[in-house]
Amino acid sequence: MTVNAVRRTVSVIVPCRNEADHIEAFCRSVAGQQVPAGWQLQVLIADGLSDDGTRKKLQAFCRRDPRFVMIDNPGRIVSCGLNRCIEQAAGEFIVRLDVHTVYAPDYVAQCLATWQATGADNVGGPWKAEGQPGTAGVVQRAVAAAFQSKLVAGGALSRDLIHNGWVDTVYLGAWPKATFERFGGFDETLVRNQDDEHNLRIHKGGGKVWQSASIRSTYFPRAHKMDVFRQYRQYGYWKPFVMKKHGQAAALRHLIPGLFVGGLALLYGLSLLAGLAVSWMPVGPARDVAVWLMLGSSLLLVAGLLAYGAAVWWISGRIAREAGAELKPHLPAVIAAYHWGYGLGSLRGWWDALVKGRPDPSFGRLTRGAAAQR
């Protein structure tokens, strides 16, 4: 029996779509991943029917390196791509990677070691964001700095670069194949938040998720403020569908942006309705009540907006002192894009989940770069 015949396999799974500018560099980086002695690498990349040249480049790389296999993903979204890869994974351990992330050379090895040490049903590392250096990347650096801030992210442990321990979710994820046999694959009705939903399912089923600071990677976020807004509007939109499915939120922080934006919208609506009532009601007690309602709701609305603006300005200053003063002019808009995008998306998501009973297909579009405009 040869040495290769007794090797154990770790399968890397990757969803992608329209990544012609990045796919070759990504594949080269994965090909250089270190794996422990006795293990071999299998790389399954599910392409969502790309139309920008990604498929041609990916097919060429697969011909050069037989460890790489391209899989068609006619569903085009991440959850479908992940499931198509899992179906064909030969490994007893499965590691998910993303094209827009750079990985430490021992990323896969550390995932394996953490799983073997903890016995967790899912393991992963912290979500570290960085922007490209230099003046040209100043907005992306501001996006990354705000992303990393606990004050912006609501204290999410997945953004804590030194945390080791049990968590509700991790960035990307790595699983023994038995996890999918026990808890199922990813929900293909979800365009976003499929990883959060899967982790919630693991927790509700008695499983555990572990985050290790030794599993290191760097994510490059959106480089434009409107792309960030669109991205987080999608994240917010799909979260109510996860909550409806499970009857609970994975974490309280997921509810706050929607409640904040919804509260301000309610105050604005009350002030308008009260103003209309004042304009046609005759003088009397009822009109006096409408006046007080108009004034009260208007004052609370202005106070809420001023308080939020002051908090964002203060947080921007805190972040800029650590990440660079040149980021401060961009940080307020970036932070608002995160919060308002998520909040507005959540409100629309609750309407579609509870009233319409189905998602809007427009919330499945790509949000990165030129693809966001398609």
The enclosing domain of 199 has a CATH number of 3.90.550.10
Whether residue 278 sits in one domain with residue 214: no
Whether residue 201 sits in one domain with residue 81: yes
Query: Alpha-carbon distance 336 to 348, whole Å?
Result: 18
Query: Alpha-carbon distance 158 to 255, whole Å?
Result: 17
**Domains identified in the chain, total number:** 2
Strand-strand pairing, 171-176 and 122-125? antiparallel
Whether residue 298 sits in one domain with residue 258: yes
Q: Which range of residues forms the domain containing residue 303?
A: 253-373
Whether residue 110 sits in one domain with residue 40: yes
Q: What is the pTM of this model?
A: 0.85
Residue 64 neighbours by CB under 8 Å, 6+ apart: none
Is residue 236 within 8 Å of residue 257, measured between CB atoms?
yes
Specify the range with the lowest mean pLDDT, choosing from 79-88, 116-125, 133-142: 133-142
Q: Is 247 contained in some domain?
A: no
Is residue 193 within 8 Å of residue 238, measured between CB atoms?
yes
Best CA proximity match to 340, nearest among 351, 330, 352, 348:
348
Strand-strand pairing, 93-96 and 8-16? parallel
Whether residue 297 sits in one domain with residue 185: no
Is residue 159 within 8 Å of residue 147, measured between CB atoms?
yes
3-state secondary structure of 43: strand
How would you class 200 by CB atoms within 10 Å of its CB: exposed for 0-12, middle for 13-18, buried for 19 or more? buried
**pLDDT of 32 over the 60 cut:** yes
Is residue 372 within 8 Å of residue 17, measured between CB atoms?
no
Query: Alpha-carbon distance 101 to 96, whole Å?
Result: 11
pLDDT in tens, 314-348: 999 999 999 999 999 999 999 999 999 999 999 99
Whether residue 108 sits in one domain with residue 24: yes
Is residue 334 within 8 Å of residue 225, measured between CB atoms?
yes
Whether residue 275 sits in one domain with residue 203: no
Whether residue 119 sits in one domain with residue 202: yes
Best CA proximity match to 192, nearest among 361, 332, 78:
78
End-to-end alpha carbon distance in the chain:
53
Q: Is 309 contained in some domain?
A: yes
pLDDT in tens, 255-264: 889 999 999 9
Whether residue 295 sits in one domain with residue 202: no
pLDDT in tens, 291-319: 899 999 999 999 999 999 999 999 999 99
Q: Where is 338: in which H helix or E strand?
A: helix 331-351
SS3 of 190-210: the string is CCCCHHHHHHHHHHHCCCCEE
Write down which residue in 199, 221, 243 finishes a domain.
221
